[in-house]
Amino acid sequence: MKLVPKNAIELNHMRAAGQLAAQVLDYITPHVQAGVSTLKLNDLCHAYIEEHNAVPAPLNYKGYPKATCISVNDVVCHGIPSADEILKDGDILNIDVTVILNGYHGDTSRMYTVGKVDDAAMQLIRTTYDSMMAGINTVKSGSYLYDIGNAIEKVVAPKGYGIVRDYCGHGLGRTFHEDPMVLHYANREFAGVRLRNGVTFTVEPMVNAGSFRTELLDDGWTVLTADRKLSAQFEHTLAVSDNGPEIMTLSPAGYTLPPYA
Ligand code: MF3
Ligand code: CO
Ligand code: CO
């Protein structure tokens, strides 16, 4: 794995892109309600991104058809927004926004809840968030990449949930996906990789209520839990600094966990 740190100018671009992506997730929050379609949410995000002089990175990425990914209930990731998918009371969903602003990527996602969600689902969401933050908080100049997945697993495993292995976090900058590859579970394969100042990447654990196994639908994108139980995910873009992680996609509104109102 080849980790290329960003310089001060590049980091400023990353901050701006990250802040815009987080702002999109803030903006869409009041629109996430029973009766709305996931396509409508996508289109609102798409318009907002363009109004802010940015481009939605997923659109046409390897043939992906929409501006955002919206993954409802047992969809693990890469859910394709659809006019036929109408949110209903009790649903949980992840909205994943990646913008390209002045050539740089900002990538972040959060869980949202629709109306009254049951305790088991809320618990899954909270644990997923806590695991992401535990992973992020290991990061500083000189820390090991391995520490991230290890910290995530320490939070998730005691709850009996499954950590998805088929998809991982990633470096990003001018490109959407680059080194490092960030695993969300303890894995010694890249045990020797150390982080250094200026390296930028995402931490984005997908946590399943049941098995970690996933299934890819025939559309080539939609990833489901193999057992059709719920899945949750949060994602931040960060940069490594001497003092610790610099989270570039913090919510300007201060949103962390749903419900946000
Ligand atoms: N935003 C996703 C990630 O966190 C990637 C989506 S790729 C797409 O890496 F093509 F599905 F949009
Ligand atoms: Co990502
Ligand atoms: Co993302």
168 lines ligand 1 (CB under 6 A): no
Cα of 97 to ligand 1 centre, how many Å?
8
| Domains of the chain with CATH codes | 8-247 (3.90.230.10)
Report the pLDDT value the prediction gives residue 261, as an integer from 0 to 100.
Answer: 82
* From 38, 55, 64, 164, mutation site for ligand 1 pocket: most ligand atoms within 8 A of C-beta: 64
CA-nearest residue, atom 2 of ligand 1: 96
Report the pLDDT value the prediction gives residue 73, as an integer from 0 to 100.
Answer: 99
107 lines ligand 1 (CB under 6 A): yes
- CA-to-CA separations, 220 to 44, 107, 216, 223, in angstroms, rounded: 24, 21, 7, 9
58 lines ligand 1 (CB under 6 A): yes
The ligand 1 atom nearest the CA atom of 66: 12
The ligand 1 atom nearest the CA atom of 176: 9
Report the pLDDT value the prediction gives residue 254, as an integer from 0 to 100.
Answer: 98
Cα of 58 to ligand 1 centre, how many Å?
6
- pLDDT tens string, the chain, 261 residues long: the values are 889 999 999 999 999 999 999 999 999 999 999 999 999 999 999 999 999 999 999 999 999 999 999 999 999 999 999 999 999 999 999 999 999 999 999 999 999 999 999 999 999 999 999 999 999 999 999 999 999 999 999 999 999 999 999 999 999 999 999 999 999 999 999 889 999 999 999 999 999 999 999 999 999 999 999 999 999 999 999 999 999 999 999 999 999 999 998
Report the pLDDT value the prediction gives residue 186, as an integer from 0 to 100.
Answer: 97
Task: Name the DSSP class of 89.
Answer: T
CA-nearest residue, atom 3 of ligand 1: 107
Cα of 227 to ligand 3 centre, how many Å?
23
Cα of 185 to ligand 3 centre, how many Å?
18
Is 70 in contact with 81 (CB distance < 8 Å)? Answer: yes
Report the pLDDT value the prediction gives residue 191, as an integer from 0 to 100.
Answer: 87
Q: Is the pTM of this model over 0.95?
A: yes
